[in-house]
A and B are shown apart, each in its own frame.
Chain A
Amino acid sequence: MSAWYYSHLILIQGTFISLLLALSIQVPLRAGVFSFAGIGSYAIGAYTAAILTIRLQVAPILAIGAGVVLAMVAGYLLALLVARLSGLYLGMATIAFALFLGVLAINGGELTGGPTGLFGALSTLTTTHVVVITLLVVLALAANERASFGRRVDAVREDPQLAVSLGIDVNRIRRRVFVVSGALGATAGGMTSLLRSTVSPETIGFHLVVTALTMIIVGGALSWAGAAIGAVIFTWLPSLLQFVGEWQPLVYGILVAFAAVYVPNGLLGVLQQGWRRMQARRHRVPAEGAGALADTATADPEHALAALGNRAEVQS
């Protein structure tokens, strides 16, 4: 067990960090906001943590925390900037934000280490920290997905106009989603650069957009659980697919295409559907009863009216 743990440490760390990165895209998507700003936030978090650790030797929690705060502020400002955009246009604008940060990193001179990046961000951050922080984040998101707040987010995604008429401030929820996404992305970025003790423009590039989106498409976009399924699969799949050698990208691509076409709600959607079918079986009796009632109503209006009259008496 122990030997296995140490030989797979990078993958174990990678799983949790990928989960946070995937969540930084999943949280906006759940609210119907097609934003990749989380990837830009990953860059902000990664560079802020590395710079603070190398130059000021601050504690890892402060180094990551500073990046998180910075990314949240950036997320809020970005939300104001792109408030009128939605769909593909919003997606493009937020990808531009991520790419812009990459350009900034290359041209940041001494501060960002230019094209070669920064080295020697040595810190005391351990895998345990990473696991604990990630689990706390997931717990908070899971709590928000359920009950009232989760319902309101569903309404914002499915029917913004209805949401407004129910008293939900759609714009405020959208801004909040950008801020949360910023915090998630920056946490992932900060932890990565401290674990690897290095960061460079290559590690914050466009491939992160692809990775995060792939995880969510295959796992499922509507819940943290979908992001978790996707993070596990796509962190471990490459090492499991080693036996196919150079065909690996092909297998990978086929899997993604298959998921996108045949499982639009991801693996989580498949699981949920199965669960609902089981539940429906349990509830079938009252459902059929209701159907029967409707049938008698059409067949015999007087009888139905009498029944309604009785119900009205009970209520008043």
Chain B
Amino acid sequence: MTAVDSRPDGPDMQAPVAVLQTHDVAVHYGGIKAVDGIDLTLESGRILGILGPNGSGKSTLLAAMTRLVRLTRGRLVLDGEDYTGSPPAQLARRGIARSFQTVRLLRDLTVLENIQLGADLHLDRKTRYGGLVRTAVPDAVTEAIERTGVGDLLALRPGELSYGTARRVEIARALAARPRVLMLDEPTAGMNQPERHEVAALLGRLRDEGLTQLLIEHDVQMMVDTCDRLLAMNQGLPIAEGLPGDVVREPAVQEAYLGKRWNRARDQ
């Protein structure tokens, strides 16, 4: 695997391209404005982090971007093409993979089968229906298993996994689709510190290979270390956007979300 170093400070700096953009996206439920006018850009080979307290609209924004909820207003653009009205099932085919805030593995399938679900959309008709012949596991699946380190657990079922491990399996499932854009909603929730480091390192390596990512997390230190840019939200509105170090120093962000946590993290 050749790592393409495309970080801003890297030696072969490449100009990032806008892969996915939202323009003034809003999602209202009756009188509740869950998301109210978000503009963001996912650039190729960059990680955009979204910070914000619980209920600030992060997950709703993600659902809007993956067409799982209806937009009240705004536009969604992928590769310069408007996809505001396209069916959600098409997005996976166009290279968007995501995980959810809660563990969403199928309990009757093994870990391997759950991961394979991610890659199934690339199968041709013949392999999709020829169920009597045992077909080889696609390379994308093997690779996703190696990268997330779940190789020992393939025969187990989700009920037998710890919460942190289940989340790794979900990342593997998303990677098995070989996405161009990866959106992770709190991928390290419920993980211990070493597991978090491992996931952060994995996301960094994926970024260096050119994968565009959107990351929602509560671990501020991890967000600052991992993301290229941050967007801070509160009550559905953007309150700051920019380089991670700058965003977390914004008074509005500190007040809305970070409080003492960031100061403590910085002092250490």
Contact = CB atoms under 8 A, between A and B. Distances in A.
Interface in A277-292: 279-280, 283, 286-287, 289-290
Contacts of A279: 155
Task: Report, as a range, how many residues of chain A touch the other chain.
Answer: 35 or more
Given A167-B121, A222-B108, A311 B149 contact: yes
A311 B202 CA distance: 11
A290 B152 contact: yes
Interface string B66-110: 101000000000000000000111111100011010001011110
B98 to A, nearest CB: 6
Contacts of B268: none
Nearest to B121: A167
A145 B113 CA distance: 13
A126 interface: no
B116 A312 contact: no
A146 B131 contact: yes
B156 A287 contact: yes
B117 interface: yes
A134 B89 CA distance: 34
A38 to B, nearest CB: 21
Interface residues of B, number: 55
A124 interface: no
A169 interface: yes
Interface stretch (B33-41, B44-52, B193-201, B226-234): B193-201
Contacts of B146: 315
18 contacts: A144-B131, A147-B127, A147-B128, A148-B127, A149-B129, A151-B106, A151-B117, A162-B104, A167-B177, A168-B121, A279-B155, A286-B152, A287-B153, A290-B152, A290-B165, A294-B162, A308-B201, A316-B1
Interface of B: 1, 3, 66, 68, 87-93, 97-98, 100, 104, 106-109, 113, 116-118, 120-121, 123, 127-132, 135, 146-147, 149, 152-153, 155-157, 160, 162, 164-165, 173, 177, 192-195, 197-198, 201, 205
Given A142-B132, A165-B68, A312-B205, 11 more contacts: A148-B127, A152-B117, A164-B88, A166-B117, A166-B120, A166-B177, A280-B160, A290-B165, A297-B195, A301-B194, A308-B198
